[in-house]
């Protein structure tokens, strides 16, 4: 085979293999399991299972949506959490998001906080109204108590800082103020739902035990041995791209999310479903 034919074959192979690879990376669900151990977790909550969905961006892939619901159903979670960007401000489709919620509510109670994309849509009130009609618990700068046999833990949620529409105030100031003003019993094991992982220092300062976040899309493109390439509000090679981060008594899990937004594809970074199991120590 001469050189020209070899080059032609290589081009054809690339033309076939690259689309297959991109389809796999963007439509095949990755499941990440975390076990979080703490002496603050009551024995009654030992084995308590939390599903986290982040950055859904009204995902249209029928395969991904089907696999997502089936996997969650099989896990038999105690609660489901959604940590922002349920919709996408560039291609908003509230009905797609609500259709997912309708399926998930049959499995477990849903707790939800906003992301930056919710702050950018004009029909946000419509979204919230439809979520409430599906019995979704909206944690907009609120705390909620989960109880089992008279033992309790907290689940707290904060709105994305863009929801305040105070563009002259930096995000850290807004987040700091929100965390300071939420009323909850800090003596209890406390879970925080927040869209923004880059605010980790504030979560540690406020002594949250477990924080569930998203926003990064796992860096969108993930390089071996390096990690995510770029994330909003963190820039190139973000510190908090994906996975578990620890500081003092605070564990933060950053989800790679489900859907895409500005960039329509992922590389080495499949859509992620996060499963967290609490263990009493």
- Residues 231-244: tens digit of each pLDDT: 999 999 999 999 99
Sketch the domain layout of the chain as residue ranges.
3-280
pLDDT at 265: 86
pLDDT of residue 81: 98
> Which tens digit of pLDDT belongs to each residue from 88-132?
999 999 999 999 999 999 999 999 999 999 999 999 999 999 999
Three-class DSSP labels, the chain = CCHHHHHHHHHHHHHHHHHHHHHHHHHCCEEEEEEEEECCCCHHHCCCEEEEECCCCCCCCHHHHHHHHHHHHHHCCCEEEEECCCCCCCCCCHHHHHHHHHHHCCCCEEEEECCHHHHCCCCHHHHHHHHHHCCCEECCCEEEEEEECCEEEEEEECCCHHHHCCCCCCHHHHHHHHHHHCCCCCCCCEEEECCCHHHHHHHHHCCCCEEEECCCHHHCEEECCCEECEECCCEECCCCCCEEEEECCEEEEECCCCCCCCCCCCECCCCEEEEEEEEEC
- The Cα 186–Cα 206 span in angstroms is 9
List the structure tokens of 153. 């833990």
Instruction: Given CATH 3.60.21.10, say whether it is the number of domain 3-280.
Output: yes
Q: In sequence order, what are the beta bridge partners of 151?
A: 148
Q: What local confidence, expressed as pLDDT, does residue 1 receive?
A: 65
Whether the pLDDT of residue 69 is over 80: the answer is yes
Which one, of 269, 175, 257, lies nearest residue 215 by Cα? 257
Predicted pLDDT of residue 152 = 96
- Angle, alpha carbons 27-28-29 (nearest 5°): 115
| Token couple for 168 | 């002259």
Nearest CA among 271, 280, 279, 246 for reference residue 32: 271
- Which token pair is 65? 């949506």
- What tokens appear for 148 in the block? 């089992």
The region of weakest confidence among 16-30, 109-123, 203-217 is 16-30
In this prediction, residue 239 carries a pLDDT of 97
- Predicted TM-score (pTM) of this structure: 0.94
In this prediction, residue 82 carries a pLDDT of: 98
> How far, CA to CA in Å, does 11 sit from each of 3, 15, 156, 184, 199?
12, 6, 52, 60, 45
- Interatomic CA distance for residues 116 and 195, integer angstroms: 8
Cα separation, 48 vs 112, in Å, equals: 18
Is the pLDDT at 165 greater than 80? The verdict is no
Q: What is the mean pLDDT of residues 5-25?
A: 79
| The CA-based dihedral angle spanning residues 114, 119, 122, 128, taken in that order and rounded to the nearest 10 degrees | 20
Averaged over 257-271, what is the pLDDT?
91
């Amino acid at each position: 085979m001469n050189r020209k034919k070899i080059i032609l074959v290589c081009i054809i192979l690339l033309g076939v293999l690259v689309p297959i690879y991109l389809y796999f990376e963007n439509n095949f669900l990755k499941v990440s399991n975390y076990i979080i151990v703490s002496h603050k977790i009551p024995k009654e909550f030992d084995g308590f299972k939390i599903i986290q969905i982040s950055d859904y961006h009204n995902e249209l892939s029928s395969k991904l949506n089907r696999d997502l619901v089936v996997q969650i159903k099989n896990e038999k979670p105690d609660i489901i959490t959604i940590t922002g960007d349920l919709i996408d401000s560039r291609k908003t489709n509230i009905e797609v998001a609500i259709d997912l919620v309708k399926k998930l509510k049959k499995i477990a109670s849903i707790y939800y906080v906003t992301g930056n994309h919710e702050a950018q849509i004009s029909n946000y009130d419509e979204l919230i109204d439809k979520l409430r009609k599906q019995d979704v618990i909206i944690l907009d700068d609120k705390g909620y108590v989960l109880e089992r046999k008279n033992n309790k833990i907290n689940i707290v949620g904060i709105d994305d800082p863009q929801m305040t529409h105070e563009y002259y105030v930096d995000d850290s100031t807004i987040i700091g103020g929100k965390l300071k003003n939420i009323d909850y019993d800090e003596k209890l094991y406390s879970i925080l739902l927040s869209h923004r992982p880059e605010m980790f220092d504030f979560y540690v300062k406020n002594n949250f035990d477990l924080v569930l976040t998203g926003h990064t899309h796992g860096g969108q493109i993930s390089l071996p041995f390096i990690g995510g390439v770029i994330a909003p509000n963190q820039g190139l090679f973000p510190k908090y791209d994906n996975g578990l981060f620890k500081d003092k008594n605070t564990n933060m899990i950053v989800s790679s999310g489900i859907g895409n937004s500005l960039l329509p594809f992922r590389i080495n970074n499949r859509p992620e479903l996060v499963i967290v199991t609490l263990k009493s120590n």
